[in-house]
Amino acid sequence: MEKIKIVTIGGGSSYTPELIEGFINRRDEINVGELWLVDCQEGEEKQRIVGALARRMVKEAGLDWKIELTLDRRRALKDADFVTTQFRVGLLDARIRDERIPLKHGMMGQETNGAGGIFKAFRTIPVIMDIIRDMRELCPDAWLVNFTNPSGMVTEAAIKYGKWEKTVGLCNVPIRYEKLCKQAMGIAEDSEELFTKFAGLNHFHWHRVWDKKGNEVTAEIMEKVYSPDSETEFVGMANVMEIPFLYDQLKDLKVLPCTYHRYYYAADQMLSAYLEQYKNHETRAEKVKQTEKELFELYKDPNLKGKPEQLTQRGGTYYSDAACELISSILNDKRTKMVVSTKNNGAIADMPYDSIIEISSIITSHGPEPLNWGKFDASIRGVLQAQKAMEELTIEAAITGDYGRALQAFMSNPLIKHGESAQILLDEMLVENKKYLPQFAGKIHELEEAK
Ligand code: G6P
């Protein structure tokens, strides 16, 4: 097996031990020569701590992989085969602002939904463009495997504007849902007895399920998981509050939702619950900041040589299953069925051909081949198209720094109150994110002058 070079940007993340574990578990399929963990100055301390743990994990596994730590992205990218991205511009403090400022104005703030998600895209997309510029020069054949949120929008920007066709967007949510479906049907986690098919956008997708005999079991799972009479405890995602869906509405959809649909289908209850968290300084980002501190304390222990159990309490747990399986499937032409963000190419009939959608796909050596989904019912078609339009406006604003486009993105987002409130919120968030938004510098200056 040929040795490969992998570069992880945002390598100082607390999630990195999971990625390392994922590669170790697939050592027979992926022959890692070098793994470079790249971070920026602000993330240097974390990178040093998690990098040392990564080296201990690899040594413990008896492997001779080179783990390199650097702040020099260009040095790392030279001749890379796979570049994975998991960085957070502005670190967790930026996420705290994304969550808290909208809530202060009585609107949902979340890291990928509402105004918070739009601002995360504004901060992230210019950096992805810079990374692609470097890749074009230093590793023109590499695959870009993106995890950075908002994963779907970042992937669309990379493909449409960066023209990096070999980009695949990933998320752990579908993996969690596959497990949930198996739990509901009383099937072992590693069994292949169910066939699931997902379609939609990142954090905005639906799925259907069939059993081995070809019977569709979507309605049965719906009842077992979401019926108010269900007696089974299902473990959801750690990062999204499990406010119940309206069962009558779900039944009528006839497809299963993902947890993020709560922000839309149960918008009023979610907002009240999150306003409570805001009051108590218990927003998810604030909690995660504490969890991170604890994780890094654990990582510092020189006797720790594996991924600590506490890491599974993070919302993104299982992300390495997605990343490492994707890489293996491309390298070995395994044709694994996975859910990825990729070009629609007609798989969802109601969506533009060049839209990046999240869809069950067969992963080949030439990338994902999406499985055909067909049309959505009117109950989904409208919201899906509207959400995609909001994403397009957000990406355009992130690339151009055009204030009008940014305002239109806000006006198209269902979690933002429309009218003057949208503009007040947008202006405040622009000023608060000044350091990370060079593309909006002119407008931010104007807003500050007008104060
Ligand atoms: C889910 C999402 C990820 C997100 C994570 C947040 O897994 O799919 O996109 O990054 O949750 O988890 P956290 O523990 O940071 O709140």
Enumerate the domain spans of the chain.
4-97+108-169
How confident is the model over 126-138, as a mean pLDDT? 98
**Rounded distance from Cα 215 to ligand 1 centre (Å):** 33
Give residue 275's pLDDT. Answer: 97
| pLDDT recorded at residue 45 | 97
Q: Is 149 in the pocket of ligand 1 (CB under 6 A)?
A: yes
Does the C-beta of 285 come closer than 6 Å to ligand 1?
Answer: no
* Active-site option among 260, 274, 299, 318: 260
Ligand 1 center to 57 CA (angstroms): 24
Residue 316 has pLDDT above 90, yes or no: no
* pLDDT tens for each residue of 194-235: 999 999 999 999 999 999 999 999 999 999 999 998 877 777
Q: What are phi and psi of 83, to 5 degrees?
A: -115, 120
CA 288–ligand 1 middle distance (angstroms): 10
Q: How far apart are the first and last CA of the chain?
A: 62
How far apart are the C-alpha atoms of 110 and 95, rounded to whole Å?
8
Q: Phi first, then psi: what are they for 72, rounded to 5°? A: -100, 95
Helix 91-104 × helix 267-279 angle, to 10°: 110
Residue position matching structure tokens 């055909």: 372
Segment 353-359 shows an average pLDDT of 98
**Does the pLDDT of residue 321 top 90, yes or no?**
no
- Tokens coding 318: 């299982």
- Rg of the chain over Cα atoms, rounded to whole angstroms, equals 21
pLDDT at 232: 76
Ligand 1 pocket member 152 (CB < 6 A) = no
d(CA 411, CA 429): 15
Calculate the dihedral angle through the C-alpha atoms of 216, 218, 221, 222, rounding to the nearest 10 degrees: -150
- How many angstroms is it from 334 CA to the middle of ligand 1? 27
| pLDDT value of position 235 | 74
Residue 317 CA, ligand 1 centroid: distance in Å: 8
* Closest to 415 measured CA to CA, from 149, 203, 237: 203
197 lines ligand 1 (CB under 6 A): no
Give the mean model confidence (pLDDT) for residues 418-422: 95
Residue 419 CA to ligand 1 center (angstroms) comes to 30
The pLDDT value recorded for residue 450 is: 94
For ligand 1, atom 16, name the residue with the nearest CA.
Answer: 239
H or E stretch covering 375: none
CA angle 176, 179, 184 (to 5 degrees): 125
User: Is residue 88 lining ligand 1, measured as CB closer than 6 Å?
Assistant: no
In the CATH scheme, what architecture does the domain 4-97+108-169 have?
3-Layer(aba) Sandwich (3.40)
Q: What percent of the chain has pLDDT over 90?
A: 92
Closest atom, ligand 1, to C-alpha of 173: 8
Report whether pLDDT(364) > 90: yes
Token pair for 144 = 């870009």
Instruction: Tell me: pLDDT of 342 over 90.
Output: yes
Does residue 13's CB lie within 6 angstroms of at least one atom of ligand 1?
A: no
Q: What does the pLDDT average to over 234-245? A: 85
CA–CA distances in Å: residue 316 to residues 13, 100, 417:
12, 21, 29
| Number of alpha carbons in the 13 Å side-chain half-sphere of residue 261 | 20
Furthest-apart CA atoms within the chain: distance in Å:
67
**Is the pLDDT assigned to residue 236 strictly greater than 80?**
no
pLDDT value, residue 39:
98
353 an active-site residue?
no
Answer yes or no: is the C-beta of 139 below 6 A from any ligand 1 atom.
Answer: no
Mean pLDDT for the chain?
96
**DSSP structure string for 91-155:** HHHHHHHHHHHHHHTTS-B-SSSHHHHHHHHHHHHHHHHHHHHHHHHH-TT-EEEE--SSHHHHH
181/171 Cα distance (integer angstroms): 17
Query: Would you state the pLDDT for residue 75?
Result: 98
Q: For residues 142 and 83, is the Cβ–Cβ distance under 8 A?
A: yes
What is the pLDDT, as a whole number, of residue 312? 84
258 lines ligand 1 (CB under 6 A): no
Least confident of 32-41, 116-125, 308-317: 308-317
- Dihedral, CA atoms, 137, 158, 26, 62, nearest 10 degrees? 50
Q: Which of 155, 314, 318 to mutate to test the pocket of ligand 1 (most atoms within 8 A of CB)?
A: 314
The pLDDT of 381-403, averaged and rounded, is 98
266-294 per-position pLDDT tens digit: 999 999 999 999 999 999 999 999 999 99
pLDDT band at 318 (very low <50, low <70, confident <90, very high): confident
* pLDDT of the residue at 238: 83
The average pLDDT across 165-180 equals 96
Three-class SS state of 447: helix
pTM: 0.97
